[in-house]
A = this chain, B = another copy of it.
Amino acid sequence: MSAADTTAGLGARGRLGAWIESPGPRNFIIALIVINAIVLGLETSSGVMDAIGPELEALNAAILGVFVVEITIKLIAFGPRFFRSGWNVFDFLVVGIALVPDSGPLDILRSLRVLRVLRLVSQVKRLRDIVESVMRALPGLGWTALLLALVFYVFGVMGAELFGDAFPQWFGGLGATLFSLFQVMTLESWSSGIARIVMETYGWAWLYFVSFILIASFMVLNLFIAIIVSATQSLHADEEEAGRQELLDELREIRRRLDELGADRERETTQ
């Protein structure tokens, strides 16, 4: 974009880069992403697939072709600088996935095609802003998240050792136990589905579940508070800062006047 202002001084690659990022091609790509999303949605209906399946597949392939051309142009125009933006890497991977030959677990690869729809986020500034602001909040949550992970790990190992033999469907191994703990944290069927049945064998098991729920919800509440604080703060602080600055400017002006008065007086008295 800013590149567009200085295309005169750039070679063919610079002009290519400026063109591919200008509103015209950009909106064309956004329109293609939306059409692609609709096509991928229609393909989930077996009725539609029976009627116009091959046509949809062809449209799909055509759109993919345009995406490949678009990213190739950007690669040529920007060179290695292309990969400096996380969003470009994301575009590259999401389009690249579709070019991997369909060997191996076909369904999973096919289903990943829909990730292309997320290119809407990388192409529409407002959506990108929201995701970026969310991403910026993540590092601040790091230590609280580590603490929550630690609580999960400790209760996970304990659960696997205590209940693993009697209830392998929920506590057979660390992985299964961690999934069960995630379920318990979301409060889904934790009591009627799991805890009450475990308590029939181990009467004291309520201690394990209740303490996990209390500690985990407290941790999650802390995570939420951290997010809310970081979200409201910066916003609030900016506003308040502006108001305070106005007051400070006024005060500094008053001090300047006082200094002038003082200097006048000094001049006067020294005369």
Residues of chain B with a CB closer than 8 A to A190's CB: 183, 186, 188
Taking CB atoms and an 8 Å cut-off, the chain A residues in 211-234 that contact chain B are 213, 218, 221-222, 224-225, 227-229, 231-233
A52 at interface (Cβ–Cβ under 8 A)? no
A239 at interface (Cβ–Cβ under 8 A)? yes
Query: Which segment of A38-46, A57-65, A84-92 sits at the interface?
Result: A38-46
A93 at interface (Cβ–Cβ under 8 A)? no
Chain B, residue nearest A129 (CB): B143
Knowing A250-B252, A258-B254, the reply to whether A110 touches B225 (Cβ < 8 A) is no
Chain B, residue nearest A177 (CB): B44
Residues of chain B with a CB closer than 8 A to A31's CB: none
**Minimum CB–CB distance for A38 against chain B, Å:** 10
**Minimum CB–CB distance for A91 against chain B, Å:** 15
**Complex A-B, nearest 6 residue pairs according to Cβ-Cβ distance, in ascending order:** A44-B160, A183-B191, A189-B192, A114-B157, A111-B161, A250-B251
Known A127-B146, A246-B248; further 5 A-B contacts with Cβ < 8 A: A118-B150, A250-B252, A258-B258, A260-B262, A261-B261
